[in-house]
Amino acid sequence: MRGAIREFIEVTTSFEVCDAVDNDVSAIYKATENHCDLILLHLTTPIQDMLVTASLVRGKLPHVKIVGFSTLSVDLGNLLSPTAGFDAVLTRQDGLSKLVETLKALMPEPPRG
């Protein structure tokens, strides 16, 4: 799933995908190391772990946009509100097009080149 999302973002936008990682600790480390502007967190259970991750990222990198993307069938948008550190939360039902639309709304897209 991570690879498909990455490829879709790279093909449909001019955003540069810095890295893809498979756990929360790596996400925090890589975001700090790569000076990312946006982090896309794959929301899994337990949700409490995602809240901790978002909080840690927000504390270390307050300027970074955090988007949660859930492959769960449950709508987590109300639970993971901006007060929890997320700028947006989407589910698989929203689809990848809505994800790209949200990314573009949160961040200016760099010119292709």
pLDDT digits (tens, 9 = 90+) for 80-94: 665 677 888 888 788
Calculate mean pLDDT across residues 73-84. Answer: 61
Pairing of strands 88-91, 38-43: unpaired
Question: 77 pLDDT band (50/70/90 cuts)?
Answer: low
Whole-number Å distance between alpha carbons of 92 and 74: 9
What is the model's pLDDT at position 80? 60
Ordered domains of the chain (ranges, CATH): 2-106 (3.40.50.2300)
The pair of structure tokens assigned to 51 is: 């809240």
